[in-house]
């Protein structure tokens, strides 16, 4: 009986942790049966998966050297901790994605001897979503749209800049109103090693491939280095990569089912933003990209969709799960309510901003 209960608990934990992988696999299977065909994968889609993989490896290796943590530890010193957390989360998410930024910043925040941690984590989640929207590599959906539609970097950043900069201003203003009581404890200073410079160079190589300066296959340098010298760096989120593969296939199947195009920017913006609330903004991006050429509306819609529900962005789930793991479970209801109210406030502000501008 005990073994059966343990197996059941393990299965439940797996389902809760990898729900996106399971849902994407089920969706691919059902749509393939419906269309009676196996999806066709394009070269662009395979390139996006490859770039994501080498980007994950490079960032994972850089994180393990202690470089990112060393930067984060500097936040603890001095005053204006909420402001520093907002700024570091915003700029970090622009380069290493919103998910990884929160994986670094949220545990650090929870380890600080301060109050108002719940509000700070919610603020960091909003900041990571806003900051990651600013660059083509800040989050997976941006990378896909940038690559899929062959958008010039300047045009891409110019299109989404109002979204990120307006929220940066709002979040900076909000952080100044949050008063925390800080009693910093002494902790060992994080040291970095020589691999920091190597992985820093690897990250530059990946970025150059993203911006079409180097050939895509140049990224194999990162894989070879990790295989020979640092196999721990290869321990990335393969379930997420596999989910992308499944969603690519599902989107291709849905394209065969949904023949008509949706070209009205308002429709694409609202539909992608609302769909993200249920299916997350990454699969929503993969879905709508199959039958629209309006990448600007889709870019705004899916980044807007990152706000709102827990499922709007994987970053939301990451921050939420980390907080519940480390903090007192007695305030789950209070934290969840605050999380949703503040996120949906940002969601509706973003919708208003889009229609004001476009």
User: DSSP letter string over 124-170?
Assistant: HHHHHHHHHTTSTTSSHHHHHHHHHTT--HHHHHHHHHHHHHHHHHH
**pLDDT surpasses 60 at 9:** no
Total length of the chain:
358
Does the pLDDT at position 327 exceed 70? no
Nearest to residue 261, comparing CAs of 292, 307, 237, 283?
292
Q: What percent of the chain has pLDDT over 70?
A: 84
How many Å apart are CA 190 and CA 186, to the nearest integer?
A: 12
pLDDT at 93: 93
Asked if 46 and 249 count as a contact pair (C-beta separation under 8 A), the reply is no
More confident residue, 103 or 340: 340
- Which has more confidence, 90 or 80? 90
| Per-residue confidence (pLDDT) for residue 318, from 0 to 100 | 82
The answer to whether the beta carbons of residues 234 and 227 sit under 8 Å apart is: yes
16, 55, 355 from 266: Cα distances, Å? 34, 33, 8
Choice between 191 and 263, residue whose per-residue pLDDT is larger: 191
Instruction: Inform me whether the pLDDT recorded for 141 exceeds 60.
Output: yes
pTM for the structure as a whole: 0.75
Mean pLDDT across 261-283: 80
What's the angle, vertex CA 111, arms to CA 108 and CA 117, rounded to 5? 85
pLDDT of residue 227: 93
Pick from 172, 141, 170: nearest CA to 348: 170
Mean pLDDT for the stretch of residues 46-71:
82
Residue 159 has pLDDT above 90, yes or no: yes
Residue 79 pLDDT exceeds 70: yes
pLDDT surpassing 60 at residue 1: no
Residue 328: per-residue pLDDT: 62
pLDDT confidence of residue 119: 92
Maximum CA extent, the chain: 63
Residue 59: pLDDT band (50, 70, 90) is confident
């Amino acid at each position: 009986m005990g073994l059966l209960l343990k197996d059941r608990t393990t299965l439940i934990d797996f389902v809760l942790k990898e729900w996106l992988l399971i849902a994407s696999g089920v969706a691919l299977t059902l749509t393939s049966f419906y269309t009676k065909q196996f999806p066709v994968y394009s070269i662009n889609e395979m390139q996006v998966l490859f770039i994501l993989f080498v980007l994950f490896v490079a960032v994972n290796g850089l994180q393990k050297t202690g470089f990112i943590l060393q930067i984060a530890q500097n936040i603890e010193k001095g005053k204006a901790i909420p402001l520093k957390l907002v700024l570091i989360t915003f700029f970090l998410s622009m380069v290493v994605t919103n998910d990884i930024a929160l994986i670094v910043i949220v545990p650090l925040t929870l380890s600080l001897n301060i109050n108002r941690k719940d509000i700070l984590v919610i603020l960091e989640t909003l900041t990571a979503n806003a900051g990651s929207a600013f660059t083509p590599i800040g989050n997976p959906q941006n990378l896909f749209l940038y690559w899929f539609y062959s958008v010039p970097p300047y045009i891409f950043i110019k299109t989404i800049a109002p979204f990120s900069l307006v929220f940066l201003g709002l979040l900076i203003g909000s952080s100044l109103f949050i008063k925390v009581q800080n009693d910093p404890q002494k902790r060992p200073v994080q040291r970095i090693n020589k691999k920091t410079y190597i992985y820093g160079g690897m990250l530059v190589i990946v970025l150059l491939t993203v911006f079409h300066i180097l050939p895509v296959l140049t990224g194999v340098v990162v894989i070879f280095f990790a295989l020979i010298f640092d196999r721990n760096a290869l321990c990335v989120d393969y379930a997420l990569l596999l989910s992308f593969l499944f969603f690519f296939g599902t989107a291709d199947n849905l394209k065969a089912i949904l023949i008509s195009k949706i070209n009205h920017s308002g429709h694409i913006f609202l539909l992608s933003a609302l769909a993200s609330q249920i299916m997350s903004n990454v699969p929503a991006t993969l879905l709508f990209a199959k039958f629209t050429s309006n990448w600007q509306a889709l870019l705004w819609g899916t980044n807007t969709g990152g706000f709102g529900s827990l499922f709007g962005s994987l970053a939301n789930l990451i921050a939420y799960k980390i907080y519940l793991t480390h903090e007192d479970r007695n305030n789950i209801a209070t934290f969840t309510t605050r999380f949703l109210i503040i996120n949906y406030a940002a969601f509706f502000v973003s919708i208003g901003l889009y229609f004001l501008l476009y």
